[in-house]
Structure 1
Amino acid sequence: MRRLTLGLVLFGLTCTHALAFEPWTLAERGNRGYKQPSIQWIEGATINEVENGTLNYALPAFEGDPLWDPLNAKPITPDTKYGEAVQYGYQLIVATWRHIGPEVEDVNMRYAGNNNACSSCHLGAGTMQYSAPFVGTYGNFPQYRNREDVLGTLTSRINGCMERSMNGYKLPPESNEMKAMQAYMHWLSQGIPVGASKIKGRGLKLVNRPMIRNNTADVENGAKVYEAQCAVCHGENGQGEKRLDANGKFDGYTNPALWGTDDTYNTGAGMYRTLKAADFIYSTMPKGATGDAPILTDKEAYDVAAFINQDAHYRPVKINRNVDFGDPKVRVPDQDVMGYYGKNGELMFPDEGMERMRYKVGPYKGIIKQKPAN
């Protein structure tokens, strides 16, 4: 019988792009040799001839509203084995806790360490622009991963989230669950050229980089922003908003926990990094009545990200996080635990040698690498 350690949730497949903070640092490692025009999502359009350097692309159709009613929405697929896999993959994304969560009846299926869903981070079941979408994901692997410094597969990318954002265990590569998740991503990526990266809305919007270079995140202001803009959905103490079924039984979260419970992401997740969290928040939160974002300023997103991820807020610790981003050439600047020790046993910070909190809350001037002159 498998026992999961304390679990906490997602924000972590958080953008399947593996680029470091400065994309130029990966120019040689990640170059796929394919140069394509930009791809823009246009409602009702299909892939067609290039118009002004842009391919028009429409997502496969959904029944229902994937953002506001994800459990009742579903992708439209043929009644085939492939279609069944896509449907199951969709359910795994929007109701992860029901199928592989820490409280499912079959103990052998308890892979996730928390009761949240992949769609807690990949909004609209991975279909929303600038919300860590899965559109185009399938054809972007194999992919250089700067965190592990390897050429990674889609399987390893999904399992990275299982161990970090979901604080659980890896899915077996040949399991129905792994195949179903990949089938769903394949279905969303149909028509997108292999290796395409210039897809509008594929990544996250970025908070103002000159601002974060020169300013420390203000945790106290972040607390005020959280109280005013975030607590109504995520709880006063970051505990999230639980969902109950018709019998009053716990049925996952309407809005995910961010800290303070066994149902949030661990310290190895992308959302634990201040800049990654700030970009995600700036791009997607608060959703509001229409789902419009951003409504926070760059500074508000930066400050509230630091507040959410401060050391005083409880969350599980990812073991061996010091091996992440082992190559300083492609290290992200907000990785606050570095990977080797000095002569006297002190923890060393490659390149800059600054105190840990500079990597955690900035300012990032002197940490963010500058592109060398030609």
Structure 2
Amino acid sequence: MRKKSLALAVVGASIAAAGVVTANAQSDGEQNAETPYQNLVEMGYPAPQEGQLVHVPPTMADLEDADLHPELKKVIRRGYDLFTNTQQLRGKNVFNDMNCSSCHLGEGRQPFSAPVWPAAITLPNFRGKNQHVNNLEERIAGCFAYSMNGTPPEYGSDDMLALSAYHRWLAKGAPVYPDQPIYGRGFPPPDRPEALSYARGETVYQEQCAICHQEDGSGHYEDGEYVFPALWGDGSNNWGAGIVRTHTAAGFIKNNMPLGQPLSLSDQEAWDVAYYMTRQERPQDPRYDGSVDDMLEKFGPTFHKHSSYGDVREHDDHRLADHANWGEKGEEVIPWNVGVPRFEDLED
């Protein structure tokens, strides 16, 4: 626990070092573009480039001094609480061992760890995963259905409003629908090597990752509560989660792992670990209709072309995802937001 707290404190200090600013590298000049995240640059992360939108999200401490209605502050605090401790919704909306902050490190503020504030300024927008325009609530709902292997709070509910409010608080001061690329957005992967190795990935995993996530990827628990999340198995995200895509996992690993030692793995090591990790079993994609082949026909050209879904694993001939295991949620819990079409009346 001390290792985790120290690592996040270092990251938090790096993020907060520049204060709460929004810098447009294209219009505000070179100095403003380089000042935000300077500590991260010194750690080896790329510096903001000319033309990028550079935004340092406000903190919860900044919320106390903000000129906002006290009731709004309460709701934002609730959103922060849900984001960092989503396990409090276990058995209702969450059916694995994940929190939102398991993937979106630094309270959802950290560059190169899929900071969540960009969603608040770029949505509504078209999303290839479900082939229609999504708003912020729908984007959050997708995380519950896939990353949490659960079912989301209802649109407009207290919990969904609180999570949306927290996202928008982090985006305070950032322009809506920016024309510039966003600095530190997503999990940018390093260049893909010519060949990936399951065996090399397993070796690096056992040497660098198992100390926190266990040899079997089941995560680490203390006093009945998880400290480090499960990377595969029933306690992890399902086959529809974004991080099961090999390039997404490689980007997360390269930029953030091992915890407290970001950028310490080589590009080859990050990709090999991602390849190893994403070729392990996990709960079924909630879009599954009983046939892996049907799933690949529907989603192979889009989402699953980047995952190992339906692949035959090289060392044991096991076909990945060829099962009806739904994890802790079982067959009875069906995420209500999956497979729901939108705007059909707008078809030409």
TM over 0.5: yes
In structure 2, how many angstroms separate the alpha carbons of the residues matched to 1:320 and 1:79? 41
Alignment pair present for 1:169 and 2:142: no
Conserved 8 A contact 1:325-1:332 = no
Among 207, 229, 239, the residue aligned to 1:256 = 229
Q: Which secondary structure does the structure 2 equivalent of 1:89 belong to? A: helix
CA apart distance, 1:266:
0.7
Structure 1 residues 80 and 60 mapped into 2: Cα distance closer, same or farther (>3 Å)? Answer: same
CA apart distance, 1:131:
0.5
CA apart distance, 1:160:
1.0
In structure 2, how many angstroms separate the alpha carbons of the residues matched to 1:226 and 1:62? 35
Conserved 8 A contact 1:47-1:191 = yes
**1:142-198 Cα shifts (integer Å, max 9, x gaps):** 111111111111111111111111001122001101000000000000111111252
Which residue of structure 2 aligns with residue 344 of structure 1? none
Among 296, 312, 315, the residue aligned to 2:282 = 315
In structure 1, how many angstroms separate the alpha carbons of the residues matched to 2:237 and 2:157? 24
CA apart distance, 1:44:
2.1
Conserved 8 A contact 2:191-2:267 = yes
Q: Which secondary structure does the structure 2 equivalent of 1:136 belong to? A: helix
Q: Which secondary structure does the structure 1 equivalent of 2:133 belong to? A: strand
In structure 1, how many angstroms separate the alpha carbons of the residues matched to 2:286 and 2:190? 29
In structure 1, how many angstroms separate the alpha carbons of the residues matched to 2:209 and 2:69? 41
**1:216-263 Cα shifts (integer Å, max 9, x gaps):** x2111111100111011111211111132xxxxx23x21101123x31
CA apart distance, 1:281:
0.9
In structure 1, how many angstroms separate the alpha carbons of the residues matched to 2:151 and 2:20? 40
In structure 2, how many angstroms separate the alpha carbons of the residues matched to 1:205 and 1:220? 24
In structure 1, how many angstroms separate the alpha carbons of the residues matched to 2:152 and 2:109? 24
Which residue of structure 1 aligns with residue 73 of structure 2? 83
Alignment pair present for 1:228 and 2:207: yes
CA apart distance, 1:316:
0.9
Structure 1 residues 75 and 218 mapped into 2: Cα distance closer, same or farther (>3 Å)? Answer: farther
Q: Which has the higher contact order (CA 8 A, sep 6+)?
A: 1
* TM-score normalised per structure 1: 0.65
In structure 2, how many angstroms separate the alpha carbons of the residues matched to 1:45 and 1:111? 33
Alignment pair present for 1:303 and 2:272: yes
Which residue of structure 1 aligns with residue 56 of structure 2? 58
* TM-score normalised per structure 2: 0.70
* CA root-mean-square deviation: 2.9
| Structure 1, unpaired ranges of 5+ | 1-39, 64-73, 103-109, 245-249, 339-354, 362-374
In structure 1, how many angstroms separate the alpha carbons of the residues matched to 2:54 and 2:240? 36
Alignment pair present for 1:204 and 2:187: yes
**AA paired with 2:188?**
K
Conserved 8 A contact 1:112-1:167 = yes
Q: Which has the higher helix share?
A: 2
Which residue of structure 1 aligns with residue 346 of structure 2? none
**AA paired with 1:198?**
P
CA apart distance, 1:199:
2.1
Among 222, 226, 238, the residue aligned to 1:266 = 238
Matches within 5 A, 1:1-374: 43-44=18-19, 46-47=21-22, 50-52=28-30, 57-63=55-61, 76=64, 78=68, 80-98=70-88, 100-102=89-91, 110-196=92-178, 198-209=181-192, 211=193, 214-215=194-195, 217-244=196-223, 250-251=224-225, 253-260=226-233, 262-288=234-260, 292-310=261-279, 313-321=280-288, 326=298, 333-337=305-309
Structure 1 residues 218 and 285 mapped into 2: Cα distance closer, same or farther (>3 Å)? Answer: same
**AA paired with 1:178?**
M
Structure 1 residues 126 and 335 mapped into 2: Cα distance closer, same or farther (>3 Å)? Answer: same
CA apart distance, 1:111:
0.9
Q: Which secondary structure does the structure 1 equivalent of 2:118 belong to? A: coil
Q: Report the more deviating stretch, 41-50 or 148-157.
A: 41-50
Conserved 8 A contact 2:145-2:286 = no
Conserved 8 A contact 2:54-2:183 = no
Instruction: Work out the number of aligned pairs and report it.
Output: 271
**AA paired with 2:276?**
F
Which residue of structure 1 aligns with residue 345 of structure 2? none
In structure 1, how many angstroms separate the alpha carbons of the residues matched to 2:307 and 2:98? 24
Conserved 8 A contact 2:278-2:307 = no
Runs of at least 4 residues of structure 1 off by over 6 A? 355-358
